Structure formats: structure tokens, C-alpha cells
Structure 1
Amino acid sequence: MDARAVGQRIKAAREKKNMTQEDLAACIDISPTHVSVIERGTKIPRMDTFVAIANVLGVSADDLLVDVVDRATAGVASELSAAIEALPHEERMRVLKVVSVLVDR
């Protein structure tokens, strides 16, 4: 498992919520130093800590483990689908054409 990549995604999600390491640590009852160690990928969090982090940050485990778990692509596909759906019709068709070319390789 790429603990560093997972830690970077945790950090990005935390920063997106405008939380400090201290804020996150207080919410899940661990030390700020422990949050730092997790975000740097030095240590893999226990399952209960990982779940607490995901819940506090409002992200799915798929979002944090996207390159670790084979089935995590479902969440990415859902986000991509929503983004495409929000486009104007002409741009949506252009994106679908590009994706079709890439898939047919």
C-alpha cells in the first residue's frame, strides 16, 4: 500500500475543509503529531482511526484509497459522471467522444 499517497489525500481533504492538523486530531481523539505521521505516510492508521478521519473529513474510503483498492474506481466514475452531466450538451458530447476513442484503443 502506498501510505504516502493515502496520507497526501488525507491532508488534501483536511485542507479542503480548512482544518488544521490540530482540529482533525481533536475531532478523532488522537495527537496532532499522529495526524502528521499519517499524512506523511510514515504510519498507516488503524482501521478505526482511518474511518474516523474519513467521516470527519466527509470523504469516502474510496476517495482516500483510490490507487490502493481495485474497486475504488466506482467512486471516481460517479464523480466523473456527475461532472460530465453538468456540462453543456456540446461539451458533454465532445468529452464522450474523447473517452470513446480512449476506450476503443
Structure 2
Amino acid sequence: MPEKTFGDVLRELRRERKMSQEELAFRSGLDRTYISLLERGLRVPTIDTLFKVSRSLGVQPEDIVAQIKAGR
């Protein structure tokens, strides 16, 4: 199984919460196009971004990292 990227995990978590990219962007204070770029792997998140999106999704940042590492 190929490893998951940040974008894969982000998209999966967002969809599990039935949240649009626009809603996630609004809640996290980011631009919707930036969320799209993250999900498609065209941008690498900063630590600040990781904390913003994890808070908006209701998960701990370390849980996102663990999912990436585990290839969830």
C-alpha cells in the first residue's frame, strides 16, 4: 500500500466531516485554493497550517502525522 500524503489525509478527514474545502478554509483562516493545493500535494503545509487545519477538523496535529506515517 502506498504511503498517504498530507493531502490524502486532509481530504479524507474533511470528507468524513462532510465539510467542503470552502468551509474548512473559512474555519481555519486559509484560502480555499490553498486547501485545494494542499489536498493535491502541490503545497507542503507549515507547522502553523497543520495546527490550523487540525483544530478546524477537530483532531490533534499528531493524529494527522500518525495517519500519514501509518499510510492509513
Calculate the TM-score normalised by the size of structure 1: 0.56
Please give the residue correspondences for 1:5-84 in structure 2 after superposition, counting only pairs within 5 Å.
5-66=5-66, 67=69
- For residues 62 and 21 of structure 1, the distance between their equivalents in structure 2, rounded to whole angstroms, comes to 21
Q: How many matched pairs?
A: 65
Larger Rg belongs to: 1
- For residues 39 and 63 of structure 2, the distance between their equivalents in structure 1, rounded to whole angstroms, comes to 15
Please report how far the alpha carbon of residue 47 of structure 1 lies from its aligned counterpart in structure 2 after TM superposition: 1.4
Structure of higher RCO (CA pairs closer than 8 Å, 6+ residues apart): 2
Aligned amino acid, residue 55 of structure 1: R
Please report how far the alpha carbon of residue 31 of structure 1 lies from its aligned counterpart in structure 2 after TM superposition: 1.1
- For residues 24 and 7 of structure 2, the distance between their equivalents in structure 1, rounded to whole angstroms, comes to 13
CA RMSD of aligned residues (A): 1.6
Point out 4+ residue stretches in structure 1 off by more than 4 angstroms: none
Query: Quick one: percent identity of the two aligned structures?
Result: 29
Please report how far the alpha carbon of residue 62 of structure 1 lies from its aligned counterpart in structure 2 after TM superposition: 2.6
Which sections of structure 2, spanning at least 5 residues, go unmatched?
none
Please report how far the alpha carbon of residue 14 of structure 1 lies from its aligned counterpart in structure 2 after TM superposition: 0.6
Aligned amino acid, residue 59 of structure 2: V
